[in-house]
Amino acid sequence: MAAAQPEPEPGVIHAWSAPRSLSTSLMYSFAQRDDMEVLDEPLYANFLRVTDVDRPYRQELLSKMDPDGNKVISEVIFGPGKTKFRYCKHISKQRLPNLSSDLMKKGKHFILIRSPLNILPSFGKVVPPSFFELGIAELVSIYSELCELGSPPPVIDADDLLRDPEVVLGGLCEALRIPFQPQMLKWEAGPKDFDGIWAPWWYRSVHKSTGFSMPRHYPLTFPFAFYDLLEQSLPFYNMLKRQVSKTAGSLQPTLPDPPLPVPENKKILVWVGDELLPRDSAKVSVFDSVVQGGDAVWEGLRIYDGKVFKLDEHLDRLFDSAKAMAFSNVPSRDWIKDAIFRTLNANGMFNNAHIRLTLTRGKKVTSGMSPAFNLYGCTLIVLAEWKPPVYDNSHGIKLVTATTRRNSPNSIDSKIHHNNLINNILAKIEGNLAQAEDAIMLDKDGFVSETNATNIFMVKKGIVLTPHAEYCLPGITRATVMDLVVKESLVLHERRISLSEFHAADEVWTTGTMGEITPVVMIDGREIGDGKIGPVTRQIQNAYKVLTAGSGVPIPRNAEE
CB 508 within 8 A of CB 458: yes
User: Which helix (H) or strand (E) is 14 found in, with range?
Assistant: strand 11-17
pLDDT at residue number 218: 81
Strand ranges inside 25-141, DSSP E = 36-40, 85-91, 108-113
Per-residue pLDDT of the chain (561 residues; tens, 9 = 90+): 445 555 677 999 999 999 989 999 999 999 999 999 999 999 999 999 999 999 999 999 999 999 999 999 999 999 999 999 999 999 999 999 999 999 999 999 999 999 999 888 887 776 888 999 899 999 999 999 999 999 999 999 999 999 999 999 999 999 999 999 999 999 999 999 999 999 999 999 999 999 998 877 788 888 889 999 999 999 999 999 989 975 444 445 566 789 999 999 999 999 999 999 999 899 999 999 999 999 999 999 999 999 999 999 999 999 999 999 999 999 999 999 999 999 999 999 999 999 999 999 999 999 999 999 999 999 999 999 999 999 999 999 999 999 999 988 888 888 999 999 999 999 999 999 999 999 999 999 999 999 999 999 999 999 999 999 989 889 999 999 999 999 999 999 999 999 999 999 999 999 999 999 999 999 999 999 999 999 999 999 999 999 999 999 999 998 765
Angle made by CA atoms 18, 23, 26, in degrees to the nearest 5: 155
DSSP, collapsed to helix, strand or coil, labels residue 367 as coil
CB 310 within 8 A of CB 385: no
DSSP codes of every residue in 384-411? EEE---SS-TTT-EEEEE-SSPPPPTTT
* Cα–Cα nearest to 16, from 193, 207, 145, 170: 145
CA atoms within 13 A on the CB side of 94: 27
pLDDT at residue number 251: 47
Q: How far is CA 328 from CA 331, 344, 369, 372, 419, in A?
A: 9, 27, 15, 10, 17
Amino acid, single-letter form, for residue 303: I
438-488: per-residue pLDDT in tens? 999 999 999 999 999 999 999 999 999 999 998 988 999 999 999 999 999
32-71: per-residue pLDDT in tens? 999 999 999 999 999 999 999 999 999 999 999 999 999 9
Q: How far is CA 533 from CA 258, 463, 506, 511, 529, in A?
A: 33, 16, 10, 15, 9
CB 451 within 8 A of CB 440: yes
pLDDT at residue number 254: 61
* Cα–Cα nearest to 516, from 488, 542, 495: 542
Long-range interactions of 451-454: CB distance < 8 A, separation 24+:
451/399, 451/427, 451/510, 452/402, 452/424, 452/425, 452/427, 452/428, 453/424, 453/428, 453/512, 453/514, 453/515, 454/510, 454/511, 454/512, 454/515, 454/518
CB 415 within 8 A of CB 407: no
How far is the C-alpha of 378 from the C-alpha of 355, rounded, in Å?
18
Amino acid, single-letter form, for residue 309: F
CB 494 within 8 A of CB 447: no
How far is the C-alpha of 475 from the C-alpha of 481, rounded, in Å?
10
Angle made by CA atoms 206, 207, 213, in degrees to the nearest 5: 45
pLDDT at residue number 28: 97
What backbone torsions phi and psi does residue 418 show, to the nearest 5 degrees? -100, 165
Whole-prediction pTM = 0.86
* Cβ neighbours, 10 Å, residue 142: 21
CB-count burial class (<10 Å; 0-12, 13-18, 19+) for 298: buried
Q: Which domains does the chain have, with CATH numbers?
A: 11-242 (3.40.50.300), 263-386 (3.30.470.10), 397-549 (3.20.10.10)
DSSP, collapsed to helix, strand or coil, labels residue 484 as helix
Cα dihedral: 450, 452, 453, 456 (round 10)? -20
Instruction: Give Cβ neighbours of residue 557 (< 8 Å, ≥ 6 apart).
Output: 345
User: 455 pairs with which residues across the strands?
Assistant: 511
How far is the C-alpha of 485 from the C-alpha of 473, rounded, in Å?
19
What backbone torsions phi and psi does residue 303 show, to the nearest 5 degrees? -110, 125
pLDDT at residue number 249: 45
CB 96 within 8 A of CB 53: no
CB 98 within 8 A of CB 50: yes
User: What's the per-residue H, E or C state across 159-208?
Assistant: HHHHHCHHHHHHHHHHHHCCCCCHHHHECCCCCCCCCCCCHHHHCHHHHC
User: Which helix (H) or strand (E) is 16 found in, with range?
Assistant: strand 11-17
